[in-house]
Amino acid sequence: MSNYYLYPFLKGLEEYFRERYGSDVNLERLFSMGVLRSKALERVKEAVLGGGRERVARPQGSEDEYISFYMGLLLAGLADRWALRKYVDSEVKKFVSLLEGESSKFVWDVSRRLGLVSELLAREDECGHKVILGTKPRPEISCFQFKVSIPKYLVYAEELLGEVSWSLASTYVERGHVYMPKSKYVRLIEGPLKNYLMKVFEALSLKVMDLDSIADLREEIRNLVRKERGYTSDEESPEGYSTLGEVREEFFPPCIKELINSLKASEHLTHSQRFALATFLLNVGASAEYVLDLMRNAPDFNERMARYQIEHLAGMRGGGKKYRMYSCTHMRDLGMCVAECRVRTPIQYYLKHVKRAKPTGGSESARNQGF
């Protein structure tokens, strides 16, 4: 079995057709084939509806599965930009799940194909670099299969650095390198792989000459996006979300506007970025539904999980504690500060600008309703 049947990104579609059939790929012809059309559409639907959080078993050694991956990538992107990001996120999670069962050498080869610069410390899964951490009587032995220079690590792990376990303080660092076990290195591949697949789509989309042949599929996906998100990427988002009070978006601080713009562009936000955005909104009077509607733009949006997390931050679950927003100093430390606002917190910026504005009527009583 060829590995590119399980990992289609290892061999480009055009290269595959030249090697196997001795001809260039004809995308319009592929989309005229009923079985492939159906498989591609199902992959996109699964991504838009499910977010790719669960591993989905796929037949091994299937040419249809290999080709339908590329057709799904094209179909999602040609239909809607948000659907494309959902598709890429979904497929990457499947690939990462599969890679966890591969040898360290294979994982390293895949990462090099994606342009990652690292050093392999163990060809299989043996302990390539052993470190004894802690002191007696219970020293802890850690094994690492990979190491990455600190500058490279910070680039590759950009989307993960908001998680405590991915900060440099929580990793083993020696002589300018971050040491990683295979399980963690596999996840490091996620970001670069997503970027790679977006570039693959851009290149393939230039070769599609006839969109009429997939007009029905595109519209079906766009309707699904409208159902899930409320609007497609080329349509205006609904004016205003459901709120308990009047949220004055024009007075949001630059850092929050930056996060919202990234989210509306269907870009991935780190855990810290989502926490900052959600707690800010909840603390200036937005309802949980307001925040949830905004989070629908995330490529990995999962309504059940997002609702639970937002309601937890709002104090509607657990011990009833409503979480506070980061300070500006903390925002700066996390790389989220984008301007010098001369305030202590983003909340202070917002309240100061709201206070300067003329009252809009009725908002104070609504704001005092709380959650």
Beta bridge mates, 174:
177
**pLDDT tens digits for the chain (371 residues)?**
458 888 999 999 999 899 888 888 888 888 889 899 999 999 999 999 874 444 444 445 688 889 999 999 999 999 998 899 899 999 999 999 999 989 999 999 999 999 999 999 987 777 878 777 766 666 777 889 999 999 999 888 887 876 778 888 888 999 999 999 999 999 999 989 998 999 999 998 888 877 888 899 999 999 999 888 777 877 755 433 333 347 888 999 999 999 999 998 888 888 889 999 999 999 888 888 889 989 988 888 888 888 888 988 888 776 567 788 899 988 998 899 999 998 888 998 998 888 887 554 444 333 333 32
Map tokens 């996840």 to a residue: 187
Pairing verdict, β 177-180 and 146-149: antiparallel
Using DSSP's 3-state secondary structure scheme, residue 293 falls into: helix
Q: Is there a contact between 94 and 58 (Cβ–Cβ < 8 Å)? A: yes
Give CA separation, 8 vs 57, 60, 67, 345, in Å. 15, 12, 8, 46
**Main-chain phi, psi angles of 119, to 5 degrees:** -125, 130
* CA pair distance 150, 171, nearest whole angstrom: 11
H or E stretch covering 177? strand 177-180
Q: Which of 3, 99, 14 is closest to 60 using CA atoms?
A: 3
Q: Are 7 and 98 in contact (CB under 8 A)?
A: yes
Residue whose C-alpha is closest to residue 295's, from 284, 309, 283:
309
Closest to 301 measured CA to CA, from 265, 261, 256, 266: 266
